[in-house]
């Protein structure tokens, strides 16, 4: 029985040899992704299911929000308004707080796997225990930034819409449109930087200020790679939302494979640019 559980958690040592550091350096990132999938296989799905438990409240809110949007004006459901969007955003705040521990544990395990380091359940809980305070602070910052930028984007779009019918107000219309697009760009850049935040948090001993500082540095040092990863994430999210039944695949396999792609790619930047003390777990 002991050997059975050992193989479930760390694999069969006779068949699935972990890579050496030399082999990792010689491998391309594309090849490393498939090597990790081959070596970890079922462990990746167990990790995905464990993380999905923490994300369950978020899944529920997002599902009802998109159902409301898709069915607005039909079947007796009122069309979604900006006030409805704000209400769903308010409901997301406690869900984000519930998701924080899972995100920390998930990131700690998967980021280490993406760098070919041993990790499993003990590292999942250690990642939570060591980083939960910073995780809560970062989540509150994310929420405030999200609410602020969404409200500002809506305000400037509505300003442009309300003044576009009056020829004398065309200047305000144009300004409203430009400011709104600029804020969308700011939101885009923020999330590009945020891709590094949780891996940086679980990996290194830093303050919150230093985490954001170094995350921004890495994001701009590999600007095109970071933007490509962000578009990849947005594209996968879009496919999940518009494809029937794909939403139900997310708790099973989708999350871990998407983030594995991201962390394998980010690992190249960490190895190239970061020279900080790794947390002793």
Query: How would you write the chain as a 3-class SS string?
Result: CHHHHHHHHHCCCCCCCCCCHHHHHHCCHHHHHHHHHHHHCHHHHHHHHHHHHHHHHHHHHHHHHHHHHHCCCCCCCCCCCHHHHHHHHHHHHHHHHHHHHHHHHHHHHHHHHHCCCCCCHHHHHHHHHHHHHHHHHHHHHHHHHHHHHHHHHHHHHHHHHHHCCCHHHHHHHHHHHHHHHHHHHHHHHHHHHHCCHHHHHHHECCCHHHHHHHHHHHHHHCHHHHHHHHHHHHHHHHHHHHCCCHHHHHHHHHHHHHHHHHHHHHHHHHHHHCCCCECCC
- What's residue 5's pLDDT? 44
User: Of 203, 160, 202, 199, whose CA–CA distance to 179 is shortest?
Assistant: 160
Q: Are 212 and 193 in contact (CB under 8 A)?
A: yes
Report whether 9 contacts 121 (CB < 8 A). yes
Q: Report residue 186 as tokens.
A: 């700011």
Question: Could you tell me the pTM of the whole model?
Answer: 0.80
The reported pLDDT for the residue numbered 26 is 52
Handedness of CA 116, 118, 124, 128 (dihedral sign): negative
Q: Which residues of the chain have pLDDT under 70?
A: 1-27, 72-78, 160-173, 275-281
Stated length of the chain: 281
Residue given tokens 């969007």 in the structure block: 85
155-187 pLDDT tens trace: 887 776 655 555 555 566 677 778 888 888 899
Task: Give the start-to-end residue ranges of the domains of the chain.
Answer: 30-130+185-271
What is the structure's pLDDT at 273? 79
């Amino acid at each position: 029985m002991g050997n059975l559980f050992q193989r479930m958690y760390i694999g069969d040592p006779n068949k699935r040899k972990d890579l050496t550091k030399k082999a990792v350096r010689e491998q391309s990132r594309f090849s490393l992704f498939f090597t990790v999938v081959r070596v970890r296989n079922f462990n990746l799905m167990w990790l995905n299911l464990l993380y999905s438990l923490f994300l369950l409240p978020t899944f529920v809110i997002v599902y009802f929000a998109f159902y409301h949007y898709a069915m607005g004006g039909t079947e007796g459901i009122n069309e979604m308004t900006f006030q409805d969007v704000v209400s769903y955003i308010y409901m997301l705040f406690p869900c984000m707080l519930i998701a924080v521990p899972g995100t920390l544990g998930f990131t700690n395990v998967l980021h280490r796997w993406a760098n070919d380091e041993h990790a499993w359940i003990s590292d999942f809980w250690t990642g939570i225990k060591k980083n939960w305070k910073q995780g809560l602070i970062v989540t509150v910052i994310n929420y405030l930034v999200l609410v602020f930028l969404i409200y500002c984007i809506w305000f400037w779009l509505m300003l442009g819409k309300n003044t576009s019918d009056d020829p004398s107000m065309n200047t305000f219309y144009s300004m409203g449109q430009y400011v709104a697009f600029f804020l969308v760009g700011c939101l885009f850049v923020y999330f590009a930087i945020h891709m590094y935040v949780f891996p940086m948090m679980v990996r290194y001993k830093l303050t919150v200020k230093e985490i954001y500082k170094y995350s921004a540095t890495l994001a701009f040092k590999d600007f095109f790679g970071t933007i490509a990863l962000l578009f990849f994430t947005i594209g996968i999210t879009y496919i999940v939302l518009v494809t029937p039944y794909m939403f139900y695949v997310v708790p099973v396999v989708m999350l871990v494979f998407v983030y594995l792609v991201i962390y394998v790619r980010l690992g190249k930047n960490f190895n190239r640019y970061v020279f900080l003390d790794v947390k002793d777990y």
